[in-house]
Amino acid sequence: MPLGAYSAIVPMACVAASGIAAMTAEAFRVRGERMAIGPLGAIGLVGAAISAVLLWGRHTSSFGVVVADDFGLFVTCVIVVAAMLSLAFSAPAIRREQLPAGEYYALMLFSTFGMILMATASDLLVIFLALEVMSLGVYVLTGIRRDSPAAVEAALKYFLLGAFASACFLYGIALTYGVTGTTHLNQIGRFVAAQALRPTPLELAGGAFLLVGFAFKVSAVPFHMWTPDAYEGAPSAVTGFMSTGVKAAAFAAFARVFLSAFAPLHGDWAEIVWVIAAATMIAGSVIGVAQTSVKRMLAYSSIAHGGYLLVALVSGGSVGKGAILFYLASYAVTNVGAFGVVTLLETEEHPNDRISDYAGLWYSHPGLALLMTLFLLSLGGFPPLGGFIAKWYVFTGAIDAGNVWLAIIGVLTSVISVFFYLRVVVMMYMTPARERVAIPPVPAIAGAALIASAAAVLYLGILPTHVLDWAAASVSSLF
């Protein structure tokens, strides 16, 4: 096999190599000695980003099951950015909570490897393997604070429900293979297209089980139960990482399977996804209003945003498909930035996780308050921020596809969600602090990551044309 045949796996190989390096460095670290393991991960992620840029437009394939098309490379870049920002916010949390740095970074990098593989896989079995690699790392990261009962409980819930979803996904693969005789997405697509007028019950059942597996990973109702507990129990930097990277990888595979292989059956599964999208937006927005924990509030916010992405998925069309990618990019930088602020406000004595803990933040730490305001307003869809353009793009695609009522539900739930975002903003600016809580100084790398996230949010809102064009071009390479 010529050397060029391996080029499609170069981005994930860079991440895997950095994960192995981090694990090896931890193995040889002298007990009590501090070692800078984080930069090893940053090197691998930078290598993955550079290789993804160099592969752009070449549409290479490796081993017949990994495709480095522009769609997969766009999602790869989103995942790499989310992982880089998460690494920047992780160092303070590792020092504060005395987490095993080597294990932490290695697990995060191996999970990133699984995410990239999931986004570029063109075979159902490879997607399943990538999903498991990604999930196992995230399960352990969720419970990495072994002395915290909340973290252990969150990891156990996440693992048990994840095992159920994985079993459903694997059963869907088995049924699909039994009907089509293949697990390759292109060949499944050709078979489904030939049988589109008379789909068999097993064919529909296979798609249904695959839908359940994906719905769990994107926190769609009614498979969202694990999300609030997992987000609250995990370290905040991990929560930001899994709320963006897992969602990006899952939606990329979701789109490949249902907008490519199962596209001829769009009329059969679109109505189900329509209902799931509406329920997800409503539940995420309405229940989020009642939360008093910032992390749980952001968890329900993540559920609602999964619903908006499902709107783009069910709408299809060039606008809806492109909206998936742009929304993932905007959501990634915004949500990681928000959880970055949460991470930096935590102390050993006070988690500062209650909404009331943000009272008077503008007077004590105006920079963090301003950045948090920017991220929350973007999540709420305020112009001229990236979240506004992303939602406008999604709802435009829904209207173009005839899903007017779904767009109306999306707009109404966005208005509801604004309440719990603005509640934090009001607390920071208009409510005096009951007691002054000492907050450690912001490390330079973490501060730079926050500024970079804020700059990306502003850029995507004010000058979104280039990224929108890249998203549209990336989608055209797949569909």
CA distance 226 to 219: 8
CA distance 47 to 51: 6
Q: In angstroms, how far is the first alpha carbon of the chain from the final one?
A: 28
Q: How far is CA 363 from CA 132, 141, 218, 428, in A?
A: 45, 34, 37, 8
Q: In which domain, by residue range, is 213 found?
A: 3-476
| Predicted local distance difference test score (pLDDT) of residue 3 | 47
Report residue 66: phi and psi, to 5°.
-125, 125
CA distance 101 to 106: 8
Residues of the chain with pLDDT under 70: 1-4, 30-36, 196-197, 317-320, 435-438, 477, 479
| Predicted local distance difference test score (pLDDT) of residue 374 | 94
Tokens 């895997």, located at residue: 16
User: Position 119: which residue type?
Assistant: A
In this structure, are residues 359 and 348 in contact, taking their beta carbons and an 8 Å threshold?
Answer: no
List b or e across 36-68, with b for residues whose CB sees 16 or more CB atoms inside 10 angstroms: ebbebbbebbebbbebbeebbeebbbbeebbbb
Q: DSSP secondary structure string, 359-391?
A: TTHHHH-HHHHHHHHHHHHHHHT-TTSHHHHHH
* Closest by Cα among 142, 202, 207 to 169: 207
User: Position 317: which residue type?
Assistant: G
Tokens 């529909």, located at residue: 204
| Total domains in the fold of the chain | 1
User: Position 398: which residue type?
Assistant: A
Residues 6+ apart with CB under 8 A from 309: 218, 247, 251, 324, 327, 328, 394
* Closest by Cα among 294, 157, 143 to 233: 143
Alpha carbon of residue 245 to chain centroid: 3
Host H or E run for residue 60: strand 60-62
Report residue 450: phi and psi, to 5°.
-65, -45
Structure tokens at 19: 């994960």
| Four-point Cα dihedral 258, 260, 261, 263, nearest 10 | 70
In this structure, are residues 172 and 212 in contact, taking their beta carbons and an 8 Å threshold?
Answer: yes
Structure tokens at 422: 């603005």
Q: DSSP secondary structure string, 264-299?
A: GGHHHHHHHHHHHHHHHHHHHHHHHHT--BHHHHHH
Residues 6+ apart with CB under 8 A from 233: 142, 143, 148, 150, 151, 152, 153, 154, 155
CA angle 305, 189, 324 (to 5 degrees): 20
| pLDDT, tens digit, 9 for 90 and up, residues 122-143 | 999 999 999 999 999 999 999 8
CA distance 213 to 26: 34
| pLDDT, tens digit, 9 for 90 and up, residues 16-73 | 999 998 888 877 776 655 666 778 888 999 999 999 999 998 888 888 899 988 999 9
Q: DSSP secondary structure string, 171-194?
A: HHHHHHHHHHS--BHHHHHHHHHH
How large is the C-alpha radius of gyration of the chain? 21
Host H or E run for residue 67: strand 66-68
| Predicted local distance difference test score (pLDDT) of residue 401 | 85
